[in-house]
Structure 1
Amino acid sequence: MIKFFKKRPPANLPDFWKTYENCFLEKQPEEVNSVRFVVLDTETTGFDYIHDRILSIGALNLINKHIAINQSLELYLIQDHYNAETAKIHGILKNGRGTECITEIEALKQFLAFVGNAVIIAHHTIFDINMINQALERHQLPKLLNKTLDTSTLYKKTLLTSNVFKKKDHYSLDDLAEKFDISMKDRHTAIGDAYITAIAFLKIWTRLKSKGPLKLKDLLKLGS
């Protein structure tokens, strides 16, 4: 008989991980209005999950359609990797920023303490989540436990299908900012993109609500 074993989590996990893990003993409310969301964006040296690194993490609290700007998280990481081409996009120069930079493990500690058991919202979520999961793996830590939502996927669910209008496979954050007339003043900064994503999510939420009462489980089915 062949036995299959689940991969065991690393032994002797640090206290900050255990604190994060214990947050999930509390269930999320069923009503979307009562759910705590964290809107996330990362700026990175590139798009390779294995070889590239996170340069900056931006995150915002969102609950009951209110973006808590005063509870935001903005972290800059010490750069062991540098890519001059992507620096032209996000503007984060090696040793060229006055903001204090912290180690990757310290950034992970602060992010986990901030996010808790919130539902994570991001644009093309799989990228940001995979980048953070790879960082966790480098420090022998398990993957994130949070439920996630993707604003690109959710936006497509608000569009009508017809012979005249064809949906794109992917919608960029610029597409959503243009559609919803959102300022792109701080585009390509982690906290700026998190804010644009938060506004886009609220616009999408309004469209989805018009189709009937919205429960968290239904929202997760639509946008995971």
Structure 2
Amino acid sequence: MREIVLDTETTGFEYKQGHRLVEIGCVELINHMPSGRTYHQYINPERDIPEGAFRVHGLSEEFLRDFPLFKEVAQEFLDFIGDATLIIHNAGFDVPFLNWELKGHQFPEMGNNIVDTLIIARKKFPGSPANLDALCRRFNVDNSNREKHGALLDSELLAEVYLELIGGRQPGLELAKEAGSDDDTIKKERIFREPRAHHASEEELAAHAAFLEKIKNPIWLAGEET
């Protein structure tokens, strides 16, 4: 089972107000576990970076100026995600942004199945903080390197959080079971063995009688003496 944990950084909250993508990060999961394959791309937004956005991700206009435009990397991004299920924290933000960028450059919009970990966290822990930092603390996921938001780093952290949200290591065990036999139990071939003789030999009976003679006042003879 292939899944892609995905995160983006942007110049602001509203693509309808002209804000653009500046970073995409993806981590591939196979059977819920990281495969080692990732996709990471900085993007030239062709516009300024508002101060508020810069405080969040630390990506300046000067830094991004020499990176490709979105239209130059869109196909590579689409090829990487393929038809995998996308694991996103607050998908209501990332997915419309990505689809707007894709549609604006004549690429097909994403039709992937989406798993929103923000919704899962809010259902599982109602009333508790459900941002990525809070979930890292809850599940003891080390986020000490997260001084600012970063699409690839956040995807790597979310991959660990996602595994905990769906039950820790147990899903892997279930998948291993499903990958094996259709039966709930493992069938082993029984090896036939000839029954061994269990009657005592004459020598064994004689040795036993000699041993009993050494026992004083055995309890099994008490009834005979009364």
**Aligned to 1:182, which of 141, 160, 166?**
141
Once the two structures are aligned, what percentage of the paired residues are identical?
29
The equivalent residue for 1:87 is 54
- Deviation of 1:49 (Å): 2.3
Q: Given the alignment of the two structures, is residue 200 of structure 1 paired with residue 166 of structure 2, yes or no? A: no
Deviations 1:26-78 (A, max 9, x none): xxxxxxxxx20000000100110222100000001011232123x11110111
| Structure 2 unaligned blocks of 5 or more | 176-226
**Aligned to 2:68, which of 96, 102, 113?**
102
Distance 1:91 1:148 in 2: 28
- Deviation of 1:147 (Å): 0.3
How many residues align? The count is 169
| Structure 1 unaligned blocks of 5 or more | 1-34, 160-166, 215-224
TM-score by length of 2: 0.68
Deviations 1:100-155 (A, max 9, x none): 61111122111101000000001001211111001012113332110000111112
Residue 203 of structure 1 aligns to a residue whose secondary structure is helix
TM-score by length of 1: 0.69
- Deviation of 1:89 (Å): 1.3
Distance 1:90 1:136 in 2: 22
**Aligned to 1:127, which of 93, 99, 116?**
93
For 1:3-152, list aligned pairs within 5 A.
35-50=1-16, 51-69=18-36, 71-82=37-48, 83-96=50-63, 101-152=67-118
Cα root mean square deviation, aligned: 2.3
Distance 2:105 2:64 in 1: 26
- Deviation of 1:169 (Å): 8.4
Distance 2:52 2:159 in 1: 27
Contact 1:158 1:207 (8 Å CA) reproduced: no
| Pair 101,41 (structure 1): closer, same or farther in 2 beyond 3 Å | same
| Pair 64,42 (structure 1): closer, same or farther in 2 beyond 3 Å | same
Residue 95 of structure 1 aligns to a residue whose secondary structure is helix
Distance 1:53 1:205 in 2: 32
Contact 1:152 1:170 (8 Å CA) reproduced: no
| Pair 207,157 (structure 1): closer, same or farther in 2 beyond 3 Å | farther
